[in-house]
Structure 1
């Protein structure tokens, strides 16, 4: 339902958030490697996230990308909006232009329920919540090893 670009963006933000306590700035190459994404694509995505104030960047020899504490409480829906827009939560599941409640496609009723549930999950879930799962070692992102319990 969300684009590959949006998936990469969410992974990048969660990775940055999982490193927030370390107070380090990461470069594009480091982030791309950890989220298993193309470097050039990651750079464009990170710039867009920075533009939307979801993450922060500093230029220069001590620069890089990082996430500030106030940004940790950003809901995931903000990342989706920055990358894909919110029209994915109103679009037809079959891609039809003339699909709506009064003129539904065959998949409309089922897809509307799924789409609305996903939207609510993105609205209620914060960056901090997902980053904690990585920090605790209970969940993972590509390239990040979980801690042995």
Structure 2
């Protein structure tokens, strides 16, 4: 459903959120290993998330990536939009470059509600809530 960039970005944010609750910071290598992602790709994603002010970073021997209090309220939807743009929320179901209510693809009208439901769900889902569910083992990221 998500691009690999968004998938790894969400997983990285969740991993960093769990580490940040204990006032710890995580390095790129640690994050990449934890989310089963290539290290250079993870570094690029983390750099973009940092540039978009969605994750914090500190350089130096005690440095790494971390979240602050307000960051736990960031929605999954905001992460997806920061990394992938709004294509998931507005794009054509069949990938047509021109698809609208006045010139719809065969699936346009059916997907209007689906896209809105996806947008609503992802914008309601917060990093802090998802992280808490992981800590309580109500959800999981690895088998």
Scaled by the length of structure 1, what TM-score is found? 0.90
Please say if 1:28 is aligned against 2:28.
Answer: yes
Task: Tell me if the contact between 1:74 and 1:126 (Cα under 8 Å) persists in the aligned partners.
Answer: yes
Distance 2:63 2:86 in 1: 31
Q: Deviations over 1:44-95 (max 9, x none)?
A: 0001111111110000111001111110011112111210012331110101
Distance 1:115 1:31 in 2: 30
Which runs of 4 or more aligned residues in structure 1 lie more than 4 Å from their structure 2 counterparts after TM superposition? none
Distance 1:98 1:39 in 2: 36
Q: Which runs of 5+ in 1 are unaligned?
A: 144-149
SS at match of 2:57: strand
- Number of the residue aligned with 1:48: 48
Distance 1:12 1:141 in 2: 11
- Number of the residue aligned with 1:127: 127
Deviates more, 1:83-92 or 1:28-37: 83-92
- Number of the residue aligned with 2:16: 16
Distance 2:26 2:134 in 1: 17
Scaled by the length of structure 2, what TM-score is found? 0.94
- Number of the residue aligned with 1:104: 104
CA RMSD between the two structures: 1.3
- Number of the residue aligned with 1:137: 137
Task: Tell me if the contact between 1:15 and 1:141 (Cα under 8 Å) persists in the aligned partners.
Answer: no
Q: Which runs of 5+ in 2 are unaligned?
A: none
Deviation (angstroms), 1:18: 1.6
How many residues align structurally? Answer: 143
Task: Tell me if the contact between 1:26 and 1:65 (Cα under 8 Å) persists in the aligned partners.
Answer: yes
Distance 2:88 2:46 in 1: 21
Distance 1:98 1:115 in 2: 17
